[in-house]
Amino acid sequence: MSKSSQYQARPLQNDGRIDYPDSEHQIWSELYARQIDNLPGRACDEYMQGIETLSMPTDNIPQLVDIDKVLMQTTGWKTAPVPALISFGKFFELLANKQFPVATFIRRRQDFDYLQEPDVFHEIFGHCPLLTNSAFAFFTETYGKLGLNATPEQRVFLARLYWFTVEFGLLKGADKPRIYGGGILSSPGETLYALSDEPIRKPFDLIDVLRTPYRIDIMQPVYFCLDEFDNLFDIANTNIMAAVNDAMKLGMHSPLFPEKTNNKAS
């Protein structure tokens, strides 16, 4: 989170709203239209209910003040406008105080299909619908409180829990897996890939999750599936830090992906 960003967040006006140019509203409209039809039958019911509850606009970037009204009414959460990248400490502090960080920029057209940094589409479309759900909201708050008091080494292991739940989590589903991770839900390619026969899907096991490495720039080779969405309550109420310490003693699993190379194109 400490590296530099090519993007700059747009500032809030005095009324808490952001003046986005029409070209950026158009990008939101296209991103929304491209992804929303992929989700019925693939996204979990809790997410689809959250989409309905938020009732976000389809043709312009939602204003955070409008999202906040719904989140406050449902789970007591709100968004927090942030720059493109923030420190781990700030990230955990916001979550611990029931504030979800949202970078107030949207990807450029040349980054339409893939962006490593979380933009306003990823954060609002991918994550905010589930922040209307009490299990997801409680898990995320608990995670923030744990991270706020963790050591730097413990935070490295905690990051994997967030990655394989909030970002790339799946549910077992009654008939087939369903998606709840925002990193999948905001990505058309990964929405189809995650439910295909290509990746490995494993039952959620906390120690296993904490020991599993990942890369942010590839499709995930492995996903972890909760039996049901309310398992997030159960995870939050376990001794997560004891599991982190056990995972640190056991060490990492071998990665299921090739080592990243630093190829420099001329």
**228 annotated to bind ligand:** no
Ramachandran sector of residue 251 (left: φ over 0; alpha: ψ -120 to 50; beta: rest): left
Report CA dihedral (248, 141, 130, 76) to the nearest 10 degrees: 180
> Residues 93-116: what's their mean pLDDT?
94
Question: CA of 17: how far to CAs of 13, 63, 72, in Å?
Answer: 5, 6, 17
Question: CA of 3: how far to CAs of 84, 86, 121, 260, in Å?
Answer: 10, 9, 21, 17
Q: Which residues are tagged catalytic?
A: 122, 127, 167, 186
**167 annotated to bind ligand:** yes
> Residues 131-158: what's their mean pLDDT?
98
Residue range 168-223, pLDDT digits in tens: 999 999 899 999 999 999 999 999 999 999 999 999 999 999 999 999 999 999 99
Residue 55 has pLDDT above 90, yes or no: yes
**25 annotated to bind ligand:** no
